[in-house]
Structure 1
Amino acid sequence: MRKLVVIMLSIVFMLALTGCGTGPGGGTGEQAGQTLTVGLMPDVDSIPFIIAQEKGFFKEEGVNVTLKSFKSAVDRDSALQSGNLDGAISDVLAEAFAKDGGFDTVITSATTGNYKLVAGKGEAVTALQDLKGKDVAISKNTIIEYVTDTIGTKGGLAADDMNKVIVPQIPARLEMLQNGKIAAATLPDPLATLAVKSGARLVSSSEQLGINPGVMLFTNKATEAKAKEIAAMYRAYNKAIEYLAKEPRDSYIDLVIEKAGFPAVVKDSLELPQYKKAAAPVPADVEAVIAWLQQKQLIQKGYSYEELVNDRFVR
C-alpha cells in the first residue's frame, strides 16, 4: 500500500512540474496555444506579418497567428468590433472612432506605410493645384481622407476644393483611376505604385509630408488575455524586419505578392518602405489626427496620446 501511495505522489509531482513548464517564446503551454487573429490590408504594412508567418518566425516565438485580409477599412473595423479579430493593421482615426463609440481598443505600435495621391494618366495634372474642382477617389473618414486633406492643406487647397468621390474598396478605387472614371485617387502602396507604373502621375504622398498615421490596434480584451502572445508576435515581427533589411528582394518578392494578393505586375516596381522595428507612434502624428477629427466634428472629445496608446509591448 505504501509503495502504491509513493508511486501516486510521484505521478502527481511530475504532472505538476509539467504544468508549470514554459512553452516556446516564454509562454506557458496553455497560453502558447492561444491563437492571435490579425487583420491585414492590401498594403505594404502587411508584408512583415506575411514574412513572419511564411518564414516561421511566429512559430519560433511559440505563437499561433491567423492572418485575415480585408479590402476596405469598413470591413476590417466591423470584424474587429464583432470580435472576429484580436488586432489589425489600422490607423489613428479608427482608434479614435472606436473610443468615441465605446469600443475598447488600443494602439500598440506604429506601422510603416505610405499613402499616395496620384492623378490619372489622361489628366493634365502636373501640380496639386490642377486638382481643384476635380474628382478624387477616397474612403471617407479614414487614413486615406486624412492624408488627402493634409496634402491639400499643405499644398494650398481647402478640403472642399477637390471633389471627393467615396470609393471604400481599394482595388475598386484603382480600377476607376485606370479606367479614367476619376481624375485622381489616394491609394496605399503597392497599388499606388501600380497606378504610376500604368501611367498615373504622383502628386504627393504621406512619406513626402513626413506624416505616419498608420498603427497597429488590439482590443483591450486581447491585450489582457493574450499579452504573452502579443509580445511574442512583436518579437517575430521584429525578426521579419531584420529579414527584410538583409535579404535580397528577389528571395521573397514572389512569396509576398502571392500571399498578400498583390497584382503580379507590381513585382518589378514594388517599392518597400524602410521598415522599422516595432515602436510606439510619434505623439505629433497622433495629435495631428485628433486635431483633424475635432475640426471636422467627427469625434466628441479630444483624446490624449495616453488614452489611445499602450506601448508596453514595444518598449
Structure 2
Amino acid sequence: MKKVTIILLVAMLALALTGCTGNKTEDTSPKHSQLQGLTIGLMPDVDSIPFIIAQEKGYFKEEGLTVTLKSFKSAMERDSALQSGNLDGTISDMLAEAFAKAGGFDTVITSLTTGSYKMVVNKNETVASIKDLQGKDVAVSKNTVIEYVTDKIADESGLPANGINKVVIPQIPARLEMLQNGKIAAATLPEPLASVAIKNGGKLVNSSDRLGINPGVLLFTAKAVNGKEQEIHAMYRAYNKAVDYLAKEPLENYIDLVIAKGGFPQDVKGALVLPQYKKAVAPDPKDIDAVMTWLQARQLIKNKYSYSELVDTRFVR
C-alpha cells in the first residue's frame, strides 16, 4: 500500500512539474512574436531617411517587426502600388490622400513626415526672384505636393500660378537632370535632390521651410490600420528611435548608408543639409484645411473632406 502511495505521489509531482514548465514557456515568449510584416513605400527624399535608419540599425527588428521598404521615383508609381494592394503604407502627401478618397480608395493619414521642397533655378538663368520666372518653364509633378509648394511660392511673391509655364516631369531624377542640363528654367524638387542642384550651380528661389508649410505625410490603407494596428504602433516606436539617432549622430557616420539605400546620387555627399527630424505627430488641422482649399479652388476635388475623414490619430500623439 505504501509503495502504491509513493508511486502516485511521484506521478502527481511529475505532472505538476510538466504543467509549470509548459506555463513558463508560454509566459516568457515575446509578446510581439506574432506580428505580421509591413510593406512601406519610399520616395527619393529626406522623409524616407528615418525609415532607412530604422531598418539598417535594427530598430524594426527590436520591435519584433519585419518591414519591407520599396522605393519609387514618382508619385504616380507609388500611388499605383498602394492602390493595387502592394503596399500597406507609404511616404506621401496630403493631396494624395484627398485624391485617394475622391477616387474611392480607402486610405488614411497616420502622421506627418519631415520633408523639404525647394524651387531652384538653373545656373544659367539670371533670376533674382520668382517674378523673373514669369512666362518661363518650371518643372513640377502635376497635382502633387510639388505643384502645391510651387503655387504657394508663387502666391507669396505676388505672381499668379499661371504666370509661370509649368512643365510636367513626374520622375524626380529626370526633373533634376533637365534642370542641370539647362532644358528648363527652374524646378521644384524635394530634398536631397534640391541640395544636389544647388551644389552644381543652381540658385534657390524659395522653399517650403521658409513658407512654414509641410504637407508630407505617411499614409496607410484602411485594411492595414484595422488589421495591423499593433504592427503600425511598433513601426512608429522604431521610427522614433531613428529620429533620436538622427538627432545625435553626425551625418558623415551614415551618409553613405542613406545614399546607397535611398537611391540618392553621390552628389548628395557634402551638399545635404538634413531637416530637424521630429518624432511622429498628427498633422495640424489648419494645414489639412489649406490643402483642401487649394484643391477645391482648382476644381481637383468636389468635396472638401474633414480632418477626421482624412486623418487617423490613434498611432501618434
Tell me, yes or no, if structure 1 residue 284 matches structure 2 residue 312: no
Q: Which residue of 2 aligns with 1:162?
A: 164
Give the 5 Å matches for 1:145-184: 145-184=147-186
SS in 1 for 2:162: coil
Alpha-carbon spacing, 1:245–1:158, altered in 2? closer, same or farther (3 Å)? same
SS in 2 for 1:187: strand
CA distance in 2, matches of 1:267, 1:198: 12
CA distance in 2, matches of 1:82, 1:199: 40
Q: What is the Cα deviation at residue 117 of structure 1?
A: 0.5
Report the AA paired with residue 100 of structure 2.
A
Q: Which residue of 1 aligns with 2:224?
A: 222
SS in 1 for 2:163: coil
Q: Which residue of 2 aligns with 1:72?
A: 74
Q: Deviations over 1:69-124 (max 9, x none)?
A: 00000000000000000000000000000111111000000011000011111111
Q: Deviations over 1:210-257 (max 9, x none)?
A: 001000000010011111110000000000000010112221111111
Alpha-carbon spacing, 1:64–1:133, altered in 2? closer, same or farther (3 Å)? same
Give the 5 Å matches for 1:45-194: 45-194=47-196
Q: Which residue of 2 aligns with 1:259?
A: 261
Q: What is the Cα deviation at residue 51 of structure 1?
A: 0.4
Report the AA paired with residue 242 of structure 1.
D
CA distance in 1, matches of 2:219, 2:23: 36
Query: Pick from 275, 300, 305: which aligns with 1:298?
Result: 300
RMSD: 2.0
CA distance in 2, matches of 1:51, 1:67: 11
Number of residue equivalences:
309
Q: What is the Cα deviation at residue 49 of structure 1?
A: 0.4
Q: Deviations over 1:136-168 (max 9, x none)?
A: 000000000000011111111111110000000
CA distance in 2, matches of 1:10, 1:224: 41
Alpha-carbon spacing, 1:145–1:12, altered in 2? closer, same or farther (3 Å)? farther
Q: Which residue of 2 aligns with 1:36?
A: 38
Q: So what's the TM-score if we normalise by structure 1?
A: 0.93
Q: What is the Cα deviation at residue 205 of structure 1?
A: 0.4
CA distance in 2, matches of 1:36, 1:10: 40
Q: So what's the TM-score if we normalise by structure 2?
A: 0.92
The percent of aligned pairs where both chains have the same amino acid is 66
SS in 2 for 1:312: coil
CA distance in 2, matches of 1:287, 1:219: 21
CA distance in 2, matches of 1:152, 1:143: 14
Q: Which residue of 2 aligns with 1:212?
A: 214
Runs of 5+ unmatched residues, structure 2: 1-7
Q: What is the Cα deviation at residue 178 of structure 1?
A: 0.6
Alpha-carbon spacing, 1:297–1:64, altered in 2? closer, same or farther (3 Å)? same
Q: What is the Cα deviation at residue 311 of structure 1?
A: 1.1
Q: What is the Cα deviation at residue 261 of structure 1?
A: 1.3
